[in-house]
């Protein structure tokens, strides 16, 4: 493993980039990190991801891998190690993939609209965001009853895919003008948030709520001014 | 395998449903088929996919699996058989996943806007659709030079994910008011289309161009009237 060259091209507030961080860190893989400036992307990024020209990109021994869930899947194949992210059982694996994908299709989508939109669309985004979290609470109760993670006692593919959104909760509530239901209503979700936040490598990789909030507020000002 | 109960809930023109058809058929898996009426979905569909209430759903021994790429992945795990869809090599697997996902993010998205949108948005959709096909032509030339499929000599995960769009090409051109560049400009794409169309099980599962065109035209009339 020591001869491997591993490099992550990223932009720190990206929930997609955090997935890759988490996966590498949970596996204990050493890597170089390159922070990208979105208005001025590096030649390396543009060449490594010509289709989307987006972070995150993992470059492993010169080969670029793009799209966060594809990267996490790749990491799990190359470094299975002691912490396997994708379950061996085909049905459990499908369930983990389904909820990881739910993060993109519902949670990211609603969060993104919350930050960009105004008026009715903004209100709708808040509702959609809360709905998505409610579904995650329900799913945790069904898939891993009594356990903290989608993966049971340890984070799996779904946990890694969904966990990055946690550091946006504070800003989403502020921007959306709502307060999320508490642990009495969403016990599984809050137990999961606590469990994720107490994993050492997650603590190290995750930017603070305040830093994310400040970034997202600046982003919202810019996006709504441009609209 | 004979004791397995396998059922596909589907709606025949769905490109997502076709992926599941193709995967099951390439593996030689026997299954029951249930056609869904979208305005009047079955209780079984609503219960099997409460998050999206959408086809396709595969129900295997009573357990529902949702989202087409998750289903194809599941099929490949449960019935690896002689025709494995996902490559063993992690990098090749990541490449196959990337292009399968490209089908959702770019090809389906542009095709869908072509059918629904009007005016400038419609024009933009046509451009995006052609761009996506050009990228597929380029990718085929890079990933599998001289070979017909993304998977080389046989269809893999990316081929199964992208192939269903072929039966929409005719309608997309008609609706978009453009003619796609020919084989001299996109040699890899046309070679791939021919190769896909000559796979026996694909021929059987795929609805005819005319049937798809008729459906999409009715759909466009409905969508643009409602807009």
Do A127 and A208 reside in the same domain of the chain? yes
Q: Is the CB of residue A74 less than 8 Å from the CB of residue A58?
A: yes
B90 touches A at CB < 8 Å: yes
Co-location of A214 and A127 in the same domain? yes
Domain boundary residue, one of B78, B106, B127: B78
- A78, A107, A135: which is the final residue of a domain? A78
Closest B-chain CA to A68? B98
Contact B74 A65 (CB under 8 A): no
d(CA A50, CA A38) in angstroms, rounded, equals 15
Cα separation, B20 vs B71, in Å, equals 7
Per-residue pLDDT of B28-60, as tens digits, reads 999 999 999 989 999 999 999 999 999 999 999
**Mean pLDDT of all residues in B72-78:** 98
**Do A74 and A94 belong to one domain?**
no
Show residues of chain A in contact with B66, CB under 8 Å: 98
Looking at the domain assignment, is residue B171 inside a domain?
A: yes
* Alpha-carbon distance A210 to nearest alpha carbon in chain B (angstroms): 32
Buried b (16+ CB within 10 A) or exposed e, B108-138: bebbebbbbbeeeebeebbebbbebbebbbe
Which residues neighbour A40 within 8 Å (Cβ) at sequence distance 6 or greater? none
From the list A60, A66, A77, the residue facing B93 with the nearest CB is: A77
pLDDT of residue A226: 67
CATH number at residue A58: 3.40.30.10
Contact B98 A135 (CB under 8 A): no
Q: Is B4 on the interface with A (CB under 8 A)?
A: no
Is B83 inside any structural domain? Answer: no
CA distances from A225 to A100, A115, A218, B110 (A): 32, 12, 11, 27
Contact between B65 and A135 using a beta-carbon 8 Å cutoff: no
Q: How many domains does chain A have?
A: 2
pLDDT digits over B186-222, tens only? 999 999 999 999 999 999 999 998 999 999 989 888 8
- Looking at the domain assignment, is residue B151 inside a domain? yes
Quick one: average pLDDT of B129-144?
97
Q: A161 lies in a domain? A: yes
Buried b (16+ CB within 10 A) or exposed e, A156-182: bbbbbbbbbbbbbbbbbbebbeeebee
Q: Is B84 an 8 Å CB contact of chain A?
A: no
Tell me whether A84 touches chain B (CB under 8 Å): no
Instruction: Note the pLDDT tens digit of each residue in A122-156.
Output: 999 999 999 999 999 999 999 999 999 999 999 99
- What residues of B are in contact with residue A93 (Cβ under 8 Å)? 73-74, 77
Question: What integer pLDDT is reported at residue B181 of this predicted model?
Answer: 95
A97 & A148 share domain: yes
Asked whether residue B39 falls in the same domain as residue B96, the answer is no
Q: How far apart are CA A199 and CA B115, in angstroms?
A: 47
B39/B133 same-domain check: no
B22: how many CB neighbours lie within 10 A of its CB?
25
Q: Which of B32, B48, B78 is the last residue of a domain?
A: B78
Strand order in the sheet with A63-66: A32-35, A6-10, A57-60, A63-66
- Beta bridge partners, A34, equal A9
Residues of B within 8 A of A29 (CB-CB) are none
Q: Which of A60, A69, A94 sits opposite B65 (nearest CB)?
A: A94
Q: Are A98 and B70 inside 8 Å of each other by CB?
A: yes
In a domain, A63, yes or no: yes
Q: Considering only CB atoms, which chain A residues are within 8 Å of B69?
A: 101
B98 in the same domain as B18: no
Tallying the residues shown for chain B, one arrives at 227
B-chain CB neighbours of A98 within 8 Å are 65-67, 70
Which of A161, A167, A154 is CA-nearest to residue A206? A167
Judged by a CB distance cut-off of 8 A, whether residue A65 touches chain B is yes
Please give the residue range of the domain that contains residue A60: 6-78
Q: What is the pLDDT of residues A89-115, one digit of tens each?
A: 999 999 999 999 999 999 999 999 999
Please say if the pLDDT value at position B3 is more than 90: no
Q: Do B215 and B104 lie in a common domain?
A: yes
Does residue B135 share a domain with residue B213? yes
Residue B2 pLDDT level (bands cut at 50, 70, 90): low
pLDDT at B1 over 70: no
Decide if A66 touches B, using CB distance below 8 A: yes
Q: Which of B51, B70, B78 is closest, CB to CB, to A135?
A: B51
pLDDT of residue A48: 98
Which residues touch B159 (CB under 8 Å, ≥6 apart)?
A: B149, B150, B151, B192, B196
Coil, strand, or helix at residue B58? strand
* Contact assessment for residue A151 and residue A159, using Cβ atoms and an 8 Å cutoff: yes
Contact (CB<8Å) B74/A91: yes
* Minimal CA separation from B210 to chain A, in Å: 32
What does the alpha-carbon distance between residue A57 and residue A73 come to, in Å, rounded to a whole number?
Answer: 13
- Among chain A residues, the shortest Cα distance to B66 is held by A98
* B85 in any annotated domain: no
B104 and B70 in a common domain: no
Would the CB atoms of A102 and B66 count as touching at under 8 Å? no
Chain A CB contacts of B94 below 8 Å: 65, 70-71, 73-74
Q: Residues A150, A105: one domain? A: yes
Question: CA distances (Å), B144 to each of A51, A127, B96, B139, in order?
Answer: 18, 45, 11, 8
Is the Cβ pair B70, A102 closer than 8 Å? no
Does a structural domain hold residue B58? yes
Rounded-to-integer distance, Cα A72 and Cα B202, Å: 31
- The band of B85, judged by pLDDT with boundaries at 50, 70 and 90, is very high
Q: Are residues A67 and A130 in the same domain?
A: no
Q: What is the CATH number of the domain that holds A173?
A: 1.20.1050.10
A123 touching B (Cβ < 8 Å): no
**pLDDT tens-digit profile of A3-51?**
899 999 999 999 999 999 999 999 999 999 999 998 999 999 999 999 9
pLDDT band of residue B227 (cuts 50, 70, 90) is low
């Amino acid at each position: 493993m020591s001869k491997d060259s591993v490099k992550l091209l990223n932009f720190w507030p990206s929930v997609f980039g955090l997935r890759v961080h988490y996966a590498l860190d949970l596996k204990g893989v050493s890597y170089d990190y390159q922070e990208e400036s979105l208005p001025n992307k590096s030649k390396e990024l543009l060449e490594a991801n010509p289709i989307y020209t987006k972070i995150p990109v993992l470059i492993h021994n010169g080969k670029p891998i793009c799209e966060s869930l594809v990267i996490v899947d790749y990491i799990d194949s190359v470094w299975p190690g002691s912490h396997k992210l994708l379950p061996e059982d085909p049905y459990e694996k499908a369930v983990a993939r389904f909820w990881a994908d739910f993060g993109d299709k519902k949670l990211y989508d609603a969060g993104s609209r919350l930050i960009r939109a105004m008026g009715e669309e903004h209100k709708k985004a808040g509702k959609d965001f809360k709905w998505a979290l409610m579904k995650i609470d329900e799913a945790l109760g069904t898939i891993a009853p009594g356990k903290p993670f989608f993966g049971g006692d340890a984070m799996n593919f779904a946990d890694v895919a969904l966990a990055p959104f946690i550091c946006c909760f504070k800003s989403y509530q502020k921007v959306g003008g709502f307060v999320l239901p508490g642990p009495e209503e969403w016990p599984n979700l809050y137990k999961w948030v606590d469990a994720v936040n107490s994993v050492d490598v997650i603590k190290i990789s995750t930017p603070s709520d305040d830093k994310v909030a400040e970034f997202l507020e600046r982003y919202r000002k810019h996006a709504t001014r441009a609209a």
